[in-house]
Structure 1
Amino acid sequence: MAIIASNRPQTGLAALYSGFRDWLARGTEAYIRQQSRRAEIEILRAKSDAELARMGLTRDRIVQYVFSDRIWF
């Protein structure tokens, strides 16, 4: 059995496209990570019902509260 390796370095447009695709993927991932509000939701879920009540919240409205600047309920 023969094994053929075709791991040639990319050149020209292929290298340019590959670099652009990697740059775009890193940027998109960073944006999504920055926009994530999971940490804020977890902090609010850890609060007691009395603490939430002082904030004017109930447990079933935490997600709406966190995303209130993006989604209008």
Structure 2
Amino acid sequence: MAISTTEFHVERPTIRARFDRFFSALAGAYTAYANSRSRIGEIRALEAKSDAELKAMGIKRDQIAQYVFRDVFYV
């Protein structure tokens, strides 16, 4: 019968690493929020167009959000 043991050491992240990770996540969330807020104007402008104008652009009214965020999300 063979017996084997495995020993490994798990290092806990330092307080600085935890703060860095927290603020990095916070900055990422803020950036995503700011990017979405900047597109509200474009969404409103497209919603103000007539169906004929949207059709000329190749957009259906229910696809406006997908069109505006097409570079962020693959839908």
The percentage of aligned residue pairs carrying the same residue is 51
Deviation at 1:67, TM superposition (A): 0.1
Deviation at 1:49, TM superposition (A): 0.2
SS at match of 2:72: coil
2:71 is equivalent to residue 51 of structure 1: no
2:72 is equivalent to residue 64 of structure 1: no
When normalised by structure 2's length, the TM-score is 0.53
Question: Which ranges in structure 2 are unaligned for 5 or more consecutive residues?
Answer: 1-25
Counterpart CA distance in 2 for 1:72 and 1:55 is 19
When normalised by structure 1's length, the TM-score is 0.55
C-alpha deviations, 1:19-61, integer Å up to 9, x for none? xxxxx99xx4xx544x121100000000000000000001000
Question: Which ranges in structure 1 are unaligned for 5 or more consecutive residues?
Answer: 1-23
Runs (4 or more) in structure 1 with deviation over 6 Å come to none
- Cα-Cα RMSD: 2.0
